[in-house]
Structure 1
Amino acid sequence: MAALLRTLFVAVFLVLAYGLLEPYIERALYTMRLAAMPKPQALPVPVEGVRPRALRDTWGGARSEGRKHEGIDIFARRGTPVVSSTEGIVTRVGTNRLGGLVVWVLGPGGQRHYYAHLDGYSDVEPGMRIEAGRVLGYVGDTGNAKGTPPHLHYGVYDTGGAINPYPLLKADPALIAAPAPATAPAEAAPGPAPRSAAR
């Protein structure tokens, strides 16, 4: 009888433990899958309605404090939706001195995608799994962009540091990979996006 109770206790414990750990296990497996995917050879423009021909290569331009521009600026009307250029995992939603309101997404090949100067966020949260095209926020001028025309600062970071996203955004759209089949249900699509910056 004691052995049966002990076996039953262990079985119940394992079921409960798996239920608690399942989201973390799924996220870890998806993160490994992302890392194993090839790095994109082309990316869609992450601002709704902006065509690749409208982009200007602002990579490497001189910035304050002796910095070089580690991304490109994509100009659009304030409040224009900013969308994820890849599938991935939202790793950070927050603020910093230069970027203002920012969102980071871990994408295929382990590349990190940085969306800055946002006017507000959509309903994304750290740890959320997203598909390419998911609204992350809205074009603005927060951070050190105050007083400039509204724009998205878009950066891509690889293991060796920042890389120029301009050639990826200007590449042949046929090179943009179709989304891989999901191994877990995708997050529900958001309703109307709030424009609040309270994070």
Structure 2
Amino acid sequence: MTETSTSSPSPAAAFALRWLRRLVVLGLLAASAWWAWPRLPDPWRAPFHAARLAMQPVPTSLPVPVAGVAANRIADTWGAARANGRSHQGVDIFARRGTAVIASTEGVVTRKGTNNLGGLVVWVMGPGRQMHYYAHLDGHAPDIGPGSHVMPGDTLGYVGDTGNARGTPPHLHYGIYQSGGAINPHPLLRAGMGTAAKAGP
């Protein structure tokens, strides 16, 4: 009776087999991530978008964030006196009540809510960690909320007169804030006169 002996693979073959298995597993994980990414809810993807946007340069021009309004129709009221010793830290964009207020940049919605001065508001973090403030809305777009990823032209809400604008002609108060404080949006809107963000669905 003869004994049958089985030889074990050489160290090189065993090493190659281990790496092949790892590559197969990594390939399956990558394919699963690629398939799952567009199906994940926005809040789950928000940290990735926020980190990517934070590394981008701040815009040097912006489209007007109210559908159908041209930049040359907007007065520069930056720094104008307001009640209780405040100064105007933004621009007012007048339009018919219910006109779409649209994102001026790609960004992540950080807040959708209400405050005393702004009424119904939306905050969006855009490139370079600038915060874009949309205030006095008549209503919010129903499909956005904290964590929503928006693109230029996506609808955020609708022009109104909520907050301390009650009784004034409907308008959007649009402000931009960065690490050093508020900046004047008017020059950026004027620089963007050749571009226009289209209202989203």
* TM-score, reference length from structure 1: 0.75
1:166 corresponds to 2:197: no
Does structure 1 residue 142 correspond to structure 2 residue 162? yes
Deviations 1:32-64 (A, max 9, x none): 110110100000000001001101001100001
Verify the 8 A CA contact 2:71 2:193 in the aligned structure 1: no
Which 10-residue stretch deviates more, 25-34 or 46-55? 25-34
CA contact (8 A) 2:62 2:192 kept: no
User: Structure 2: where are the runs of 5+ without partners?
Assistant: 1-28
| Structure 1 equivalent of residue 19 of structure 2 | none
Q: Percent identity?
A: 61
Structure 1 unaligned runs (5+)? 1-14, 179-188, 191-199
Match 1:98 to one of 102, 110, 117? 117
TM-score w.r.t. length of structure 2? 0.75
C-alpha displacement of 1:28: 1.8
1:1-199 map, 5 Å:
26-123=45-142, 124-173=144-193, 190=201
> What is the rounded CA distance, in whole Å, between the counterparts of 1:129 and 1:105 in structure 2?
9
Relative to structure 1, the CA distance from residue 25 to residue 116 in structure 2 (aligned partners, 3 Å threshold; closer, same or farther) is: closer
How far did residue 30 of structure 1 move? 1.6
Q: Deviations over 1:84-141 (max 9, x none)?
A: 0001101100000000000000000100000000000112111001111000000000
> 1:26 deviation in Å?
3.4
Distance in 1 separating the partners of 2:169 and 2:73: 15
RMSD over aligned Cα atoms: 2.2
SS state at 2:52 partner: helix
Q: 1:154 to 1:33 in 2, by over 3 A?
A: same
Letter in 2 for 1:120: G
Larger Rg: 2
Check 1:145–1:25 CA distance in 2 against 1; reply closer, same or farther (3 A cut): closer
Give distance in 1, aligned partners of 2:134 and 2:45.
25
Q: Does the 8 A contact of 2:122 with 2:134 survive in 1?
A: yes
Structure-2 separation of matches of 1:41 and 1:173: 12
Aligned partners of 2:91, 2:124: CA distance in 1, in Å?
17
